[in-house]
Amino acid sequence: MNKLACLTATAFALATLGAALPAAAAERQFDVVNSNGSVSIQRVWTAPAGAPNTPWVPATMTSPVAANGDASFDLGSGASCFYDVKVQFSDGVEQTFANVNVCTGQRVRAT
């Protein structure tokens, strides 16, 4: 077998093997932008998207998200990319965002 044929066969084998392997776990994160100029965000929760019976999991916050501020949240590595995100403002109002793509670092804009 000549060198070109050997390289082509090797490249094809690697491509085929790569297609058969499961995707690597993605780093999962999202940003919350607080567009509300008068109240801070006190709490943030996540739940797998479209799973209404799954309990909300509190996100780790080092401090509230200030009025007109933003913060990033890291869910660690995993296979699922879509989550529902819920925030609670300091006045008690809650806002929910459906199907947030945490694998692309999607931003949610809370108002």
Give the model confidence (pLDDT) of 79-102 as tens digits.
Answer: 899 999 999 999 999 999 999 999
Q: What is the pLDDT of residue 109?
A: 98
* 100: in domain: yes
Please enumerate in sequence order all residues whose Cβ is within 8 A of that of 95, keeping only pairs 6 or more positions apart, or say none.
Answer: 86, 87, 89, 110, 111
Query: Domain count of the chain?
Result: 1
Boundaries of domain holding 82: 24-110
* 37: in domain: yes
Return d(Cα 10, Cα 66) in angstroms, integer: 55
> Mind listing the pLDDT tens digit of every residue in the chain (111 residues)?
555 444 445 444 444 444 343 455 668 999 999 999 999 999 999 999 998 888 999 999 999 999 999 999 999 888 899 999 999 999 999 999 999 999 999 999 999
* 9: in domain: no
Return d(Cα 33, Cα 65) in angstroms, integer: 8
Domain of residue 49, CATH code: 2.60.40
Select from 41, 24, 23 the least CA-distant residue to 32.
Answer: 41
- Specify the pTM: 0.76
Return d(Cα 47, Cα 56) in angstroms, integer: 5
* 103: in domain: yes
* 33: in domain: yes
